[in-house]
Chain A
Amino acid sequence: MKNVKRLAFLSLVLILSFSLIACNNTKSSKNESGGKSDGKVTLNFWAFGATGYDKLIKEYEKEHPNIKIKFKTSENAEHHDSLFTALSAGTGAPDIALIEVDQLDRFKQAQDRFNNLFDLGAKDVEDQYLDWTWNNGKSVDGKFLFGLPTDIGPKALYYRVDVFEEAGLPTDPDEVAALINSPEAFKTAAIQVKEKTGKPFVDSMEMAYRAYLDAAPEKYLNPDGELLIEDKDNYVKKAYDFAVELNKAGVVGNFEMWSPEWANAVNDGSFAAELGAGWLKGWMEGNAPDATGKFRVATLPKEFSANWGGSYLTIPSETKHAKEAYEFIEWLTSPENQLKSFKSHGLFPSAPSVYTMDDFKNNEDEFFGGQITSVVFGKAAENISGSGYKGEKYVPINNEILTALTNVQEGANPEKEWNEAVKRAKDLLSR
């Protein structure tokens, strides 16, 4: 009996220790974000895209030797999906997370998983930022601040000088802006490029669609969650029809953004223009070396002037170092550091005080043949009044319309595709 009892006890100990090990694993990942309590603090920072924040992080770590920041960059969709999973699981979330503006509404549902930055002192820096971008980071009732704005995405017309020249279009940015000053003029120039060079004007249906869409004051949903795209004459349909029109004129290319083919096309100049935001500049400089000096930026017609992108630095409530995390993100989004991010990666500042800084106004871009691009983007930023409510299901609904547009490009009937996309969007909302 004794031996059996002893063995039973041993096995119980083994089972308990296995379960303790399993539990400890989750606890220690929480502790990882905490670090030791003797002053050394480790912060986990998750971001996406090309931010160039690793350099700024090294600077911050030098000034604050007791803080270590572990920086992780992933691809846009995966980053937001992992963040969402970590937040809903309740463990594994980072101390600081960068969230893109399109995805922010999706995370606003989970208010209790984030720290209210107002509680950490964010009210003091409110004046530093543009009104509309600051307000986007707040909850509907305005009492909860999710994140500090990092950058905005004022759109401008990136165009290839060599393609424009071949097509007989002006190449100086001011002349281009004067010529392409309306959607009709845009279409005319596009057709001219096609006739003279055979190259598409815009790279993909998505770009042609975004031309009007990003500027629309209302998009797919209103704050009450109602679907707007079934209404007659809604803004989204207008954007859709314009893309269909451009496609019929044969000026839309087949390069899906961020694909290897698109990257090559940017490098080689296989399409004439991109209605891109300021942060595209940072990507181009790093990934399209052959295109140095071949691109310029011009102001878009005011119907197309809009904001695309921009992000917020948030602090999930799981963190054990909210104070240190907040100090870091306040430092990272301060006007001086926004200027640094702009110069290195084109992240367009969300703090208007930067626009008046000399360094900003005189920043000659070698990639753009010496053009001072900040002035163009700055003018575009001034014309932005807001970005229209997105809603939590913005990205999936947007994807349904993009699917319809791709089908149209391959020859499907535009009206039929539109109706089916609307039906699918309605179905999405019912989940």
Chain B
Amino acid sequence: MVFAKTLYPIVYLKRGVKMASLKRKHLSEEKKDMISGYLYISPFFIIFLIVGLFPAIFSMYLAFQKWNGFSPMEFVGLSNFKVVLTDPLFWKSVYNTIIMGIFGTAPQLIVGIILASLLNQAFLRFKQFYRVTIFMPYVTSMVAVALVFSVLFSNQETSMANYIIGLFGMDPINWGTSEWGTKIAISIMVFWRWVGYNTIIYLAGLQSISNDLYEAATIDGASKFQQLRFITMPLLKPFILLTVFTSTVGALQLFSEPTVFLGNNAFTRNEAMTIVMYLYRDAFRLQSFGTASATAIILMVLIVIIATINLLLTSGTSLRERGERK
């Protein structure tokens, strides 16, 4: 009995502890979820920190230095930016990038919608086959594609491309070294590679529009064109926004296609040099990491400006539409 009495405080203590720990457990459930949530996303962020964020910040630091890769860095302030912005080759590469972007990327978006709507038709047979073949170029090896295209578009008179334009009565073009020849050849390469990607996205968008809307419209007497204009396009808007945005950013960063197509002349001739190629040449051929980093920052500013204009233009119209519906 004495034991029981002395045990009382212990029991109360235990019960107190139990109640407190119950409370703690109650709180820490939420906290536990929170922590496990952070743990799940931490691998990506850690890797991003090391591989993505650190190089980007280091590059911003490098833009103000002069460095050739070996010797100690030398602080030069804004001089790298001046060198790049007064270099005619830089502006040529901006011009090239924009032209190849328009020629290579804009058609993709238009043809993509057309192809997607064709693929979405009920009467089309072998749909799966068409979808796979349209998407195939996206998964091919870049080097193999470049090799084939560089032979198709070779400078020789007997190349496939020159033969085809010869059928239309034109003189053979130097695809590798002429001003427009290179741009057209590379734009065709880019178009061929990416049209499938955009088509599949639009296809997904089209399929997400429920058939009931079309049926209702048909019952109400809407023509096919009216259905396209008032049902399909507005509901496809988010997908169009996505593809325009990613295509713009991707087109401004064009690098692999021209580099492998031009081969040895990639970083020496200026007809098809893009901004990223100009940057690469500065860093790895001329050993000037400072100016290369400065170019990277200028490119980043350019992308932000153009992407913002893009978003303002497209989201502006969708806001208006939402306003109308309300």
Which residues of A come within 8 Å of B, CB atoms? 1, 3-4, 7-8, 10-11, 14-15, 18-19, 22, 77, 81, 84-85, 87-88, 106, 109-110, 112-113, 254, 256, 258-261, 392-393, 395-396, 399-400, 402-403, 406-407, 410, 424, 427-428, 430-431
Contact = CB atoms under 8 A, between A and B. Distances in A.
A399 B155 CA distance: 19
Nearest to B154: A261
A399 to B, nearest CB: 4
A15 B50 CA distance: 12
Nearest to A110: B70
Interface string B280-310: 0010111110010000000000000000000
A156 B46 CA distance: 58
Given A1-B24, A403-B269, A109 B264 contact: no
A11 B35 contact: yes
Given A11-B38, A84-B287, A430-B83, A256 B264 contact: yes
B156 A254 contact: yes
Contacts of B42: 11, 14-15, 18
Interface in B64-97: 68-71, 83, 87, 89
12 contacts: A3-B28, A3-B32, A11-B35, A14-B42, A15-B42, A110-B69, A254-B155, A256-B264, A259-B264, A392-B287, A410-B177, A428-B286
A410 B70 contact: no
A410 B174 contact: yes
Interface residues on B, range: 35 or more
Given A3-B32, A18-B43, A410-B177, 6 more contacts: A3-B25, A8-B35, A400-B268, A410-B178, A431-B286, A431-B287
Contacts of B32: 3-4, 7
Given A109-B68, A110-B70, A254-B156, A431 B268 contact: no
B31 interface: yes
B39 A11 contact: yes
Given A3-B28, A8-B35, A396 B286 contact: yes
Contacts of A407: 177
Given A11-B38, A410-B177, A84 B264 contact: no
A124 B274 CA distance: 50
A4 B39 contact: no
Nearest to A19: B46
**Of A7, A113, A393, A430, most B-chain CB atoms within 10 Å:** A7
B151 interface: yes
Given A7-B32, A410-B174, A395 B39 contact: no
Contacts of A260: 151, 154
**Of A1, A260, A431, most B-chain CB atoms within 10 Å:** A431
B95 to A, nearest CB: 17
B263 interface: yes
B79 to A, nearest CB: 10
Contacts of B174: 410
Majority DSSP secondary structure for residues of B touching A: helix
Contacts of A106: 287
Contacts, number: 95
A2 to B, nearest CB: 8
Contacts of B156: 254, 261
B46 A18 contact: yes
Q: When A and B form their complex, which 5 residue pairs have the shortest distance between CB atoms, in order from nearest?
A: A88-B69, A431-B288, A399-B268, A110-B70, A7-B35
B194 to A, nearest CB: 26
Contacts of B288: 431
Nearest to B24: A1
Contacts of A424: 89
Contacts of A14: 39, 42
A105 to B, nearest CB: 12
B284 A84 contact: yes
Given A84-B69, A259-B263, A261-B156, A396 B285 contact: yes
Interface in B243-262: none
Contacts of A410: 174, 177-178
A81 B46 CA distance: 29
B226 to A, nearest CB: 54
A11 B174 CA distance: 60
A109 B70 contact: yes
Contacts of A110: 69-70
B263 A427 contact: no
B151 A4 contact: no
A393 B288 CA distance: 11
Contacts of B71: 109
A223 B213 CA distance: 78
A87 B70 contact: yes
**Of A77, A87, A113, most B-chain CB atoms within 10 Å:** A77
Interface in B205-243: none
Contacts of B154: 259-261
A393 B286 contact: yes
A87 B87 CA distance: 29
A341 B161 CA distance: 42
A261 B71 CA distance: 41
**Of B42, B156, B291, most A-chain CB atoms within 10 Å:** B156
Given A11-B38, A15-B42, A254-B155, A77 B287 contact: no
Nearest to A77: B264
Nearest to A400: B268
Contacts of B287: 84, 106, 109, 392, 431
Nearest to A255: B156
Contacts of A85: 69, 284
A4 B38 CA distance: 13
A261 B32 CA distance: 66
Nearest to B39: A11
A81 B268 contact: no
